[in-house]
Amino acid sequence: MKSLAELQAIKDKMKNKVVLREGINEFRVVVGMATCGIAAGARPVLNTIVEAVNESGLADKVSVSQTGCIGLCQFEPIVEVFEPGKEKVTYVKMDSDKAKRVAEEHLKGGKVIAEYTLSF
């Protein structure tokens, strides 16, 4: 180790890998992963969101986790986005492409994609 920059480089590289355990997140994304969700294709949705969050450097702001059946099985895969102080946003009938857009526009850009939501 010859410089602080070298140390910083290791820290930056590793930070994404341990940030999961800190629990300080602005956004909490929950993917419905009960039998109904998995059958409807929730797994690729979940993995896409996890990848997109990491690639766009949002790992210290967004936590991605699963939940059981929400009760709206016909609308699965369902993704819910929680943000402190705001209404919960529920996205329905998700797929990988939609998930990418949510990560890009909502989680990064802060703009809710109304057309994917339940109300639309």
Binding positions for other proteins, rule: CB under 8 A: 1-4, 7, 10-11, 13-15, 17-18, 20-21, 23, 25, 31-35, 38, 46-47, 50-51, 54, 63-68
Nearer to other proteins, 21 or 115 (CB): 21
- End-to-end CA separation in angstroms for the chain: 56
Q: CB neighbours of 10 closer than 8 A, spacing ≥ 6?
A: none
Nearer to other proteins, 18 or 118 (CB): 18
Q: Is 81 helix (H, G, I), strand (E, B) or coil?
A: strand
CB of residue 115 to other proteins, shortest distance in Å: 26
Residue 100 and residue 108: Cα distance in Å, rounded?
11
CB of residue 33 to other proteins, shortest distance in Å: 4
Nearer to other proteins, 35 or 117 (CB): 35
CB of residue 25 to other proteins, shortest distance in Å: 8
CB of residue 9 to other proteins, shortest distance in Å: 10
Q: Compute CA 4 distance to the chain's CA centroid, rounded to the nearest angstrom.
A: 33
Nearer to other proteins, 39 or 111 (CB): 39
DSSP string, 2-17: --HHHHHHHHHHHHHH
Cβ contact 56:103 at 8 Å: yes
